[in-house]
Amino acid sequence: MPWIDAHLDLAYMALDGRDLRTPCENPDQACISLPALRQAGVDLVFATIFSAPGEIPEADAEGWDHPCRYPSSDDLDAAEQAGLCQIELYRQLEEAGELSIVRGRADLERDAALPKIVLLMEGADPIRSPQHAQQWYDYGLRLVGLTWSMGTRYAGGNAKPGPLTAQGIELVAALDDLGIIHDASHLADEALDGLLEHARGPVVATHSNCRAITGDNQRHLRDAHIKAIGDRGGVIGLNLFSKFLVPDGRATIDDCVAHVQHVCELMGHRNGVGLGSDADGGFPANALPVDLDHPRKYGALLETLRVQGWSDDDLQGFTWGNWMGMLQRTV
């Protein structure tokens, strides 16, 4: 079956020095490359424009000069540049014939031999103001998460809780006007409550798991939020980082299935769950679950779901149909 992976930090990896056009040399440390995705049948990826604010310690500035980072949310020029350099990277890969950017519904039907990406902003600081949302839509942006973990000028994050700000509420409205999908992953509880209250458009969580299983951490979704996303017709992507699947140790396929089943039980159906692996997103491949540490191994997850009573249609929904249905309704 073809796959959609709803969360890969491709630009971050490339700007960190990885050649996405070449298979990874050390399978314990990295598994994501464009050839690996093609070989595994991952036909479409939500590719991030990732940005992370943070005050740079004067005594330890080394490591804070990554192009995706910038001093603070209030540094509008630096934040915008952190996003623009990633847009440029994706544009160059498209011009080189390595991938195609989905800008409209017709692009979803392009030749499957060429990987397709949907642009997802993880942390909205690069958008200077709600009035600049149109500019980013024109670049191809189709999903936005208002914050990464540390919060932005738009919303509190899971590691720095807080609500939607007044400017965040304005940005939510601007994104709705453009038809851009809201990504709830990384939002603090209070901010997610605000998003669900104010957003008129679709809400998804591209790479989030279940707090009821992992423990009390705002990085993971409360049961009430899972149900609310399902009630709105949204989709939740299974994050494969072991630390986000089990409290301790390395996760197994059974641990992954437990999260998937919990989401489905809360929603009352199997149409609101998919994959959002976050593979190689700041952690090595050996931090992925046992026997799921490379895209070519994803099929093992389907076999376990089948044993749990999932039909072929259910499995097709999980691998690509549920995310594709969302895109066809919105892009």
Arithmetic mean of pLDDT, 29-49: 96
Q: CA–CA separation, 50 vs 158, rounded Å?
A: 16
Name the CATH topology of 3-330.
Answer: TIM Barrel (3.20.20)
Residue 283 has pLDDT above 50, yes or no: yes
* H helix runs in 200-252, sequence order: 211-214, 223-231
pLDDT for residue 193: 98
Q: What is the mean pLDDT of residues 35-53?
A: 95
| pLDDT for residue 238 is more than 50 | yes
At 328, is the secondary structure helix, strand, or coil? helix
pLDDT score for 61: 45
Average pLDDT, the chain: 94
Amino acid 55: pLDDT: 58
State residue 111's pLDDT score. 66
Q: What is the pLDDT of residue 1?
A: 84
pLDDT digits (tens, 9 = 90+) for 174-186: 999 999 999 999 9
* Burial readout 50-72 (b: 16 or more C-beta within 10 A, e: otherwise): bbbbeeeeeeeeeeeeebbbbee
- Supply the pLDDT for residue 59: 41
**pLDDT of 62 over the 60 cut:** no
Interacting residues of 79 by C-beta distance below 8 A, sequence separation 6+:
51, 53, 70, 73, 125, 126, 128
CA distances from 93 to 17, 106, 139, 159 (A): 15, 20, 14, 33
Whether the predicted pLDDT of 64 surpasses 90: no
Range from 116-120, 132-136, 170-174, 281-285 carrying the lowest mean pLDDT:
281-285
Distance in angstroms (rounded) separating the CA atoms of residues 328 and 47: 17
The tokens of 92 are what? 């160059």
| Average pLDDT, integer, range 293-317 | 97
> Average pLDDT in the 246-252 region?
95
What is the structure's pLDDT at 60? 43
Task: Tell whether the model's pLDDT for residue 26 goes beyond 90.
Answer: yes
- Residue 65: is its pLDDT beyond 90? no
Cα dist. 230→267, 322, 323 in Å?
5, 12, 13
- DSSP strands (E only) in 15-115: 42-50, 52-53, 69-70, 100-101
Q: Considering the entire predicted model, what is its pTM?
A: 0.96
Burial of 235 (0-12, 13-18, 19+ CB in 10 A): buried
Domain boundaries, the chain: 3-330
pLDDT at 87 over 90: yes
